[in-house]
């Protein structure tokens, strides 16, 4: 029997491509009011404009009615920048989708735990960072991890890993921290299903299932290029036409963001101490150069 998610309002933190997509499926599919926050007003405006564009496109393709698009757009409300994370105070769940940086996420979860009701779910869309480490940062200052207060606060933290582009990709990976309660897992799963997603579960290991498999594949493709095994186009075409992948691994790396790929690969390498996860030097250098892929206009391909 499925458990009701009981989410009346959801907060989405970060209005980049992932956060905007999560806000959109929450408003359009789960039909819940969404508070969207980004510390950059410019990014927030861009995110809202992108959500509008996607809704208009769905209307023009006859996928949704114009009324549904209007209602979904009206459900997404920007959080006033002066409020910061306090703007999420009355939400029943916050989904964090900021960059892959553990200290940043720890500060955010510590603040959210102090601001929100003890029953609110705190979810991270992280691609590889330990949910257990993030959950530990939700323990109130002065409380121990073993206290009832500490267990309750860390127990509402969960990994809810969406895939890019969020409106198109059918999967959400659900990750349980050591501390996550069954109730949190059930409600988070139920919310992802309401967003129209299929849910798989993974233990909290570096990269979970998805990126423990995908990133070494992308990293190997970059090493092939680095070693001169084949050209960029031949590597991508081999995988597209030989294995029916929608994109070749180098194009996919550009699409995900090379900075994100490197951050995940480093998490795998450092989290396991296994040399098989060593990031490709070419990937490191491209990130050093500011070539982050599609979002920066240059990666393995040129997007200007």
Residue with tokens 């929608």: 246
**Residue 161: active-site member:** yes
Asked if 247 touches ligand CAA (CB under 6 A), the answer is: yes
**Residue 173: active-site member:** yes
Residue 90 · residue 42 · CB < 8 Å: no
Residue 23 · residue 73 · CB < 8 Å: no
Helical residues (DSSP H) of the chain, grouped into ranges: 17-28, 41-60, 66-75, 102-115, 131-136, 148-155, 182-194, 210-227, 232-243, 249-256, 258-272, 281-288
**Residue 203: active-site member:** no
Q: Which of 14, 167 has the CB closer to ligand CAA?
A: 167
Q: Which of 116, 239 has the CB closer to ligand CAA?
A: 239
**Residue 67: active-site member:** no
100: three-class secondary structure by DSSP: coil
Q: Which of 163, 277 has the CB closer to ligand CAA?
A: 163
The single residue of 130, 173, 176, 219 carrying the catalytic annotation is 173
- Give the per-residue contact string, 100-139, with ligand CAA (x = CB under 6 A; - = no): ---------------------------x------------
Residue 133 · residue 102 · CB < 8 Å: yes
Q: Which of 176, 211 has the CB closer to ligand CAA?
A: 211
* DSSP structure class, residue 293: B
Residue with tokens 């798989």: 200
Sheet of 157-162: strands edge to edge?
Answer: 76-78, 34-37, 10-13, 93-96, 121-124, 157-162, 171-176, 198-203
Give the footprint of ligand CAA on residues 143-182 (CB under 6 A): 163-165, 167-169
DSSP sequence for 240-280: HHHH--SS-HHHHHHHH-HHHHHHHHHHHHHHH--GGGPPP
Asked if 54 touches ligand CAA (CB under 6 A), the answer is: yes
- Give the per-residue contact string, 62-101, with ligand CAA (x = CB under 6 A; - = no): ----------------------------------------
The single residue of 127, 128, 176, 190 carrying the catalytic annotation is 127
Closest approach of Cβ 259 to ligand CAA, in Å?
11
* DSSP structure class, residue 147: S
Asked if 43 touches ligand CAA (CB under 6 A), the answer is: no
Residues annotated as catalytic (active site), given as ranges: 127, 161, 173, 211
Instruction: Please give the residue ranges that form the binding site for ligand CAA (CB under 6 A).
Output: 54, 61, 127, 163-165, 167-169, 210-211, 246-247, 252, 256
């Amino acid at each position: 029997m499925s458990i009701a998610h009981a989410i009346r309002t959801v907060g989405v933190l970060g209005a980049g491509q992932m956060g905007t997509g999560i806000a959109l499926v929450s408003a359009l599919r789960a039909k819940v009011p969404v508070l969207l926050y980004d510390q950059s007003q410019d990014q927030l405006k861009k995110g809202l404009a992108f959500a509008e564009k996607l809704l208009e496109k769905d209307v023009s393709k006859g996928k949704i009615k114009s009324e549904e698009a209007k209602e979904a757009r009206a459900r997404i409300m920007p959080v006033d920048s002066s409020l910061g994370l306090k703007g999420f105070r009355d939400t029943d769940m916050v989904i964090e989708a900021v960059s892959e940086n553990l200290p940043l996420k720890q500060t955010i979860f510590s603040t959210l735990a102090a601001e929100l009701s003890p029953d609110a779910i705190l979810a991270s869309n992280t691609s590889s960072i330990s949910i257990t480490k993030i959950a530990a940062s939700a323990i109130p200052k002065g409380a121990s991890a073993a206290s009832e207060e500490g267990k309750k606060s860390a127990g509402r933290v969960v990994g809810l890993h969406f895939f890019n582009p969020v409106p198109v990709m059918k999967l959400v990976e659900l990750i349980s921290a050591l501390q996550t309660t069954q109730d949190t897992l059930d409600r988070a799963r139920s919310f992802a299903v309401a967003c129209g997603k299929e849910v798989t579960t993974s233990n909290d290991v570096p990269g979970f299932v998805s990126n423990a498999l995908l990133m070494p594949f992308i990293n190997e493709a970059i090493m092939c290029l680095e070693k001169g095994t084949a050209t960029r186009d031949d590597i991508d075409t081999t995988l597209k036409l030989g294995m029916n992948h929608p994109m070749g691994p180098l194009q996919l790396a550009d699409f995900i963001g090379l900075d994100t790929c490197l951050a995940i690969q480093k998490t795998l390498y450092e989290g396991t101490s296994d040399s098989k996860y060593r990031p490709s030097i070419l990937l490191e250098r491209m990130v050093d150069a500011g070539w982050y892929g599609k979002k920066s206009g240059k990666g393995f391909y040129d997007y200007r």
